[in-house]
Chains A and B, each alone.
Chain A
Amino acid sequence: MKPFEFHRAINSDDVFKHISTTSKYIAGGTNLLDLMKKHIHEPNTIIDLNSALSNTIEQKNDGIFLGAMTTNTKVTENTIVNKNFPLVSKAILAGASPQIRNMATTSGNLLQRTRCPYFYDTNIPCNKRKSNSGCGALNGHQRMAGIVGTSQNCVAVHPSDFCVALAALDAEVFITKTDSTTEKIPFKDFHRLPENNPEKDNNLSDNAIITGVFIPNNNFGNTVSYVKIRERDSYAFALVSVAAALEIKDDKIKKVRLASGGVAHKPWRWFEAEKFLKNKKASRDNFIKAAELIVSKTKPLPNNTFKVTLLKGAVETALMQCLTNTSNG
């Protein structure tokens, strides 16, 4: 890889002192090092955030705050997370491998790049890697490509499982800017669609860092599920995944959340299906109808129409599993 300077920042001010157009942050490094070895990112400076930002999990009155540097493993082992936000653990544990989860962090997870194979070969065109170079996947292999919100410029998907749960749970991303101002971005607005500038994965500005993620309290309890369809049972990205959460009262669905990974450039919420299920009976029939509604909104590419069928099955299975999990939990 290209030689670089390494700076271990001690606080956020120190981070900002060192950022430049050729710097990159490092947290767990589980994606950045791959990107550097493949010459996709060639930063001149690497700023280590591990000593600069919080790695604690704080319970608040209205929810839970995950510090930017909390590792995936730490989050999944936290008793409050497991008690009040089991969907988060389920999603994280469906991703990567134990070794990677030991290193990967909360904020790093949000900022990981796509795993579209065309992005990773610098000898093949990719608009996300190099503006206006073309999209190799548009007429190529599309197993890892999207089925909603794709554009002619990019069909890549966001790879995270964790983020799918965060999107489902209406989390907020906490941000600090160089001028020391802070900001909260609703999770559904954090990542973006590729449109005409796929090189941009999210709406985080250049002069900002993520300090943590807040998840508001909910009444879903154990009536949650994360279904991930993938080609092997560990260390494989989703073909499609579904996070589902139900709040059921008097035999009716009072609240529902449905989100997916592996389908879009961002963790995707299925708002219409949520609306459809609200106040309906939690029955397989209704779940199937919701799944049908969801897939009616998809626009698969010529070589990944199979994802529509898988998605339908995953939605149905995830909603059914919510009922099983609640009775087991």
Chain B
Amino acid sequence: MFEILKNKGRIEGIAKVTGKAKYSAEYALPNLAHGVIVGSTIPSGFITNINIEEAKQVPGVIDVLSYWNKPEVSTFDNPEKSKKIPAFHKYFHTTKINYSDQPVALVLADTLEDASYAATLLKIDYKTEDFNVNFHESLKDLELKPFKAERGNLEAWQNADYISENEYTIAMEVHNPMEMHATIAHWTAENKLSLYDKSQGVNGVQWNLGRFFDLPEENITVNSEFVGGGFGSGLMTWFNTVAASLGAKLIERPVKVGLTRPQMFTMVGYRPTSWQKVKIGANKDEKLLGVLHHAAHNQSKYNVYSRDLSGITSKVYAFENVKRFTGYSPLNLPIPTWMRGPGDSSGTFAVESAIDELCYKMNADPVDIRLNNIAPYSMDSGKPWSTHYLNECLERGAKEIGWDDRPNQPKQLKDGDWYTGYGVGVGLWNASRRNAGASIEMKRDGNIIVRTAMTDIGTGTGQAIVNMTHEFLGIPREKISIELGNSIHPKSVTQGGSWGLSSLSGAVDAASTALKRKLADYAWGKSEVTKLDAVILSDSGVAFINDQKKSVSYQDIFQKYNLNEIYVEEYSNAGGEEEKYAFCSSAAHFYKVKVNVVTGKVKMDRMVIVVDGGKIINPQAAANQIIGAAVGGVGMAMREKQEVDLASGRLIGSDFAGYHVTVNADVPIIEVSFINKPDYNRNPAGAKGLGEVGLLGSAPAITNAIYNAIGKRFTNLPVTPDMIV
């Protein structure tokens, strides 16, 4: 059906690189006021008073919004409705402090400079209480509970020929997209709210704010046309959106609230600190027999996020025996949230490390043991995989990296103080599909606009819409424009979880089919055309694929029926295919590292990644997704670690200088290739989401390669130079 599409750049590319693309904070509204969020300086207790007198002396300061002067919201008069508002939207409706930097006030001023200066002049009194920010200490008292039904039993493999058991930890990681979260809130009329908001899903914001203000969704519009990265930080509706809306209500002016980089560490979630213990067993024939997986991560006292790290453990390999325990430690820390490959990337690190360790014990090849143990069907659901090409990813990756050169034992490849090693890790993620909507509007000249509420968070969704529409309809790409990321367009699921493109392809296909139907009806009369597959749209008119004589121009159609435009709008969702099949995307990461045992330097020498993401709609954007994710994996393995100061309960070094995101200098040219086999059971495009699999398996491929180089097994991430020497 599809032909591989040539690289065409991105439809929004020029706007982005010339600064014409407008991000949420960049809209200039008349009479716009600026709000600066002030966070608590204590991790636990109560605010007893906020003295705003000195702050109000700063010229340009309009007001200071806090618990004591928040505007009336009818929701809070109704206990039932109020109860449904999450605690992290109610920071101005409580005096309780549960973590350091919890928002306590919003300083509103004519300029950002005035607001941020005045913010330093608030005098806030607290009543402090005991706090706990020490995750590893908290584990001692944490009771783990069974997670999901046990598969098989522990006894079945207690006498396995080979067993490996280890504990694993991963430090707190922060998303840090380039664009910081920002909101402009504007009450355009009594009870009508217009928002420009950095978000991965406009309809989610609309719903959340509707719930907060007790307004119907149609009273709220949300624009997130351009989003400078998310990685999961924009899946939730955070307090900056609520605060801006409350501020705008209070002072009856549009209000902009932008987070500072340090606030990005405390106000929009993070990947929580985690601990795991994994025990796996195999027999002499290199068959993986069973796995026992204990896992825990920190939560906030506000307790809105939990994610089981061991969900992945039953999916990738054909373990006949799986037993899992899980737990969460509520601490006086900000609220964690989904971050790229949430849960599974942490679990994958432990399982992929454990398998590697086992390979050395049993003298097995890490690629062979994986190939021989891939789950032949979804052992969670019992359903067959619709398509699953992890075996091909492994085979091709091994060939490309030159796996045959890998020594079976560590410390074999030495050059002065440098040792070379090879490692492999695999990633797997549900290739899901959710609800999405799209409309197409055609003008007399045959130009069309495709619209959807779904955002493009930098993943290339916009160009993918153009490519898909071109393929479905035949209309040349230059006649297709798009509008997305706005709640005025057809409702769509939030962009995330590797389901964006998969979901949207169904909607674009449905809308394309509807447009063909309409044009066919206009051109040849209803019921004349039964097979729409044979209908194609050109730049000038509608035609049958094999019969040019029948073609009718758009101009004739528009004239004959006196039309200004033709409009179709369709919605789609996953359907019966989920009854029949299980779906997954996967990737194999093959990395080669060089390790200096005197200075502790680890140099990524080669990174080869082979991905099964179904049909690739935009090879450039798809490779870009994998490269970015893999760089995130390098960060997880080697440098990303947000420290918490145990004495004050505050984050330490929480900015771009103190928290080390991996940069270009840290990685080689990353070699990405795709299996590129369609899965038409999944969606009409045959594509499977691939946003997560570039990260999953990346970190263990690095630590496995380091082991192969120097014979040290690293189970605590990140691995910094001091740990190597």
A residues at B contact (CB < 8 Å): 1-3, 34, 39, 115, 117-118, 120-121, 123-124, 136, 139-141, 144, 227, 229-237, 239, 306-307, 309-310, 313-314, 316-317
Contact = CB atoms under 8 A, between A and B. Distances in A.
A240 B647 CA distance: 26
A139 B647 CA distance: 8
Contacts of A141: 643, 645, 652-653
B545 interface: no
A82 to B, nearest CB: 21
A234 B665 contact: yes
A121 B113 contact: no
Given A140-B645, A232-B666, A310 B599 contact: yes
A239 B652 contact: no
Interface of B: 41, 100, 113, 116-117, 120, 417, 596, 598-601, 638-639, 643, 645-648, 650, 652-653, 655, 657-658, 660, 662-666, 720-723, 725
B665 A121 contact: no
B721 A136 contact: no
Contact of A309 (B596, B655, B663, B725): B725
Given A2-B117, A232-B665, A115 B657 contact: yes
Given A118-B652, A121-B652, A123-B41, A314 B639 contact: no
Given A117-B653, A140-B645, A229 B600 contact: yes
B645 A136 contact: yes
A233 B639 CA distance: 11
A185 B639 CA distance: 39
B648 A1 contact: no
Contact of B720 (A124, A136, A231): A231
B93 to A, nearest CB: 24
Contacts of B600: 229, 310, 313
Contacts of A234: 663-666
Contact of B663 (A2, A144, A235): A235
A230 B721 CA distance: 8
Contact of B113 (A1, A34, A237, A316): A1
A108 to B, nearest CB: 16
In order of increasing CB-CB distance, the 7 nearest A-B pairs are: A306-B722, A233-B665, A117-B653, A313-B598, A234-B665, A123-B41, A117-B652
27 contacts: A1-B116, A3-B113, A117-B643, A117-B652, A117-B653, A118-B652, A120-B658, A124-B645, A124-B648, A124-B650, A136-B647, A140-B646, A140-B652, A141-B643, A141-B645, A227-B599, A229-B599, A231-B639, A232-B662, A232-B663, A235-B663, A309-B722, A310-B722, A313-B600, A313-B725, A317-B598, A317-B599
Nearest to A316: B598
A310 B721 contact: yes
A117 B655 CA distance: 10
Contacts of B653: 117, 120, 141, 144
A313 B599 contact: yes
Nearest to B42: A123
Contacts of A317: 417, 596, 598-599
Contacts of B113: 1, 3
A234 B720 CA distance: 15
B43 to A, nearest CB: 11
Contacts of B647: 136, 139-140
B636 to A, nearest CB: 13
Contacts of A144: 653
A100 to B, nearest CB: 10
A237 B721 CA distance: 13
A234 B667 CA distance: 11
Contacts of B655: 120
A227 B600 CA distance: 12
Contacts of A235: 657, 663
A316 B665 CA distance: 24
Contacts of A140: 645-647, 652
Nearest to A314: B599
Contact of A231 (B41, B599, B721): B721
Contact of B639 (A115, A117, A118, A232): A232
A39 B725 contact: no
B112 to A, nearest CB: 10
Nearest to B723: A306
Nearest to A306: B722
Contacts of B100: 123
A310 B724 CA distance: 10
Given A1-B117, A229-B601, A234-B663, 12 more contacts: A1-B116, A115-B657, A118-B652, A120-B653, A136-B648, A141-B643, A144-B653, A229-B600, A233-B663, A234-B666, A306-B725, A314-B599
A123 B649 CA distance: 11
A233 B603 CA distance: 10
Contacts of B722: 239, 306-307, 309-310
A235 B721 CA distance: 16
Contacts of B417: 317
